[in-house]
Structure 1
Amino acid sequence: MLTTQRRAMIAARLDRDGQIIAKALADELGLSEDTIRRDLREMAAEGLLKRVHGGALPLAPPLPDFAARGAIASETKRKLGRRAAGLIKAGQVVFLDGGTTNAEIARALPRDLRATIVTHSPTIAAELERHDAEVILVGGRLYKHSMVTTGAAAIAAIEEIRVDVFFLGVTAVHPVHGLSTGDYEEAAIKRAIARQSAETYVLATPEKFGAASPHRILGVGDIAGLIVPADMAAEPLSPYRDAAATLIMT
């Protein structure tokens, strides 16, 4: 079988099954596992898939810029934001990660809620201008794609705060490879916040499931819950029903 034929088959199988297991595919095609692994390495280098131990996964689709993301699945994000806001209690210290879905949490918070909202996103801080909540904005280098601060200064500030609830933003959710995002520094910031938090929740729209972004943040079992749309298909959610994380449908 020619290299181009193998690669076309790998791409089609990845699209159909959502994963490639190198040994199983090699056995099926009567080829060496090294041949399949070499194909996967080359395809990963070209940005066609994500290599993982034993095989490959689809890449999470590249995100449009921050402004454009606000218009994607906006009603679904509003529902997720309202459900997440309902988990927040007066007196808590809450960390809101960046992103357009988490911005809906800020918009859904009652204006008279007495709580402390910490964020490293200037856009989310601005949403809380007219709220009674105390707002702490963590500084650092601005990662403009996600409109959040990153770097050593941000991590140093985060390490001085104890958080009751953290709402973590991710670009991909996978039952084995966990929660991930596209930027190395941003992933490090998210892990630092999670370490300081008693509970971590993720608001996830359907397109984020079953894929993997380049930089892992946490395992699914490391969070308290996934907040997902009530009308989401059952099959993508089935691997998470037995996980430590609670599924919250809204």
Structure 2
Amino acid sequence: MNVRHQNIIQLVSERGSVSVSELSQITGVSEVTVRQDLNVLEKGGFLRRVHGSAVAPESDDVGARMRTRYAVKKRLAEHAASLVNAGEAVFIEGGSTNALLARELSERRDITIITVSHYIAGLLRETGGEVIILGGLYQKSSESVVGPLTRLCIQHLNFHKVFIGIDGWDALTGFTGRNMLRCDVVNALMAKNTHTIALTDSSKFGQIHPYPLAPEHPFSHVITDTDLPDTCKEILQAQGLRLDIIGPV
């Protein structure tokens, strides 16, 4: 692996997604050379190629994903935490930005946090507030629970807000996910008819995954960063979603 390859890996890891044209400008080589580099790095598992860009490799390891675009995700988590009011019960579903949200809320003694993520529950072990973790089939890779028992638990609980991580969004497909059982849990949450918030960095927009998220119960609210393309912003706003675009401090 040469120095250029190392620089590309670092850029993609930090930003989550970088276009071929931008990589060409940064590295000072042609787009043809960049595409050849990306082919090599994709075969090595260092990144993925989608729609003329390189994106960080997908992983169910929440800790590893938290390190990708950490500064951006932390700003999103801080904003999301500011929306949680005293006395509320909030459901934090899963994902790296949601894990950072849990950290932001860990000192709050005036709220109840509900989650399917054992990883998130671990971050809250020193919290002063109540923590409820649901039962179900334990997915070791993501450290979350899924399945019929998890759905049953959701049906018997009430909460004020739900923060959900997404894997992709496209104008044609809407919000999508990579894992069928996790998407089933999300759809059960969306059916509760409460305030549902997609908390995600902008690298997920433009990606398509196999399983639809909440096709019958659209999100109320999206929190993302300023790298969201204008075309995506216009479509989301036209659909009536509240859209919070969080920029650098």
Q: Find the partner of 1:225 among 215, 221, 224.
A: 221
Q: Is the 1:228–1:248 Cα contact (8 Å) retained in structure 2?
A: yes
Query: Which residue matches 2:58?
Result: 63
Gaps of 5+ in 2: 1-18, 21-48
Q: Find the partner of 2:76 among 59, 77, 80.
A: 80
Q: Is the 2:106–2:124 Cα contact (8 Å) retained in structure 1?
A: no
Cα distance, 1:190–1:147 mapped onto 2, change above 3 Å: same
1:150-165 map, 5 Å: 150-165=146-161
Query: Which residue matches 1:144?
Result: 140
Deviations 1:1-28 (A, max 9, x none): xxxxxxxxxxxxxx99xxxxxxxxxxxx
Residue identity in the other structure for 2:83: L
Cα distance, 1:179–1:231 mapped onto 2, change above 3 Å: closer
Cα distance, 1:65–1:120 mapped onto 2, change above 3 Å: closer
Query: Which residue matches 1:33?
Result: none
- Find the aligned partners of 1:128 and 1:94 in 2 and give their Cα distance: 13
1:160-239 map, 5 Å: 160-219=156-215, 222-239=218-235
Q: Find the partner of 1:134 among 130, 133, 136.
A: 130
Deviations 1:68-119 (A, max 9, x none): 2121111111011111111111111110011111011111126133111100
SS, match of residue 238 in structure 2: coil
Deviations 1:22-58 (A, max 9, x none): xxxxxxxxxxxxxxxxxxxxxxxxxxx9xxxxxxxx9
Q: Is the 2:106–2:123 Cα contact (8 Å) retained in structure 1?
A: no
- Find the aligned partners of 1:178 and 1:231 in 2 and give their Cα distance: 18
SS, match of residue 111 in structure 1: coil
SS, match of residue 202 in structure 1: strand
CA deviation after TM superposition for structure 1 residue 221, in Å: 7.3
TM-score for both structures, normalised by structure 2: 0.72
Q: Is the 2:138–2:144 Cα contact (8 Å) retained in structure 1?
A: yes
Query: Which residue matches 2:115?
Result: 119
Residue identity (%): 26
Count of residue pairs brought into register by the alignment:
198
1:6-85 map, 5 Å: 63-66=58-61, 67-85=63-81
Which structure is larger by alpha-carbon Rg, 1 or 2? 1
Residue identity in the other structure for 1:228: T
SS, match of residue 213 in structure 2: strand
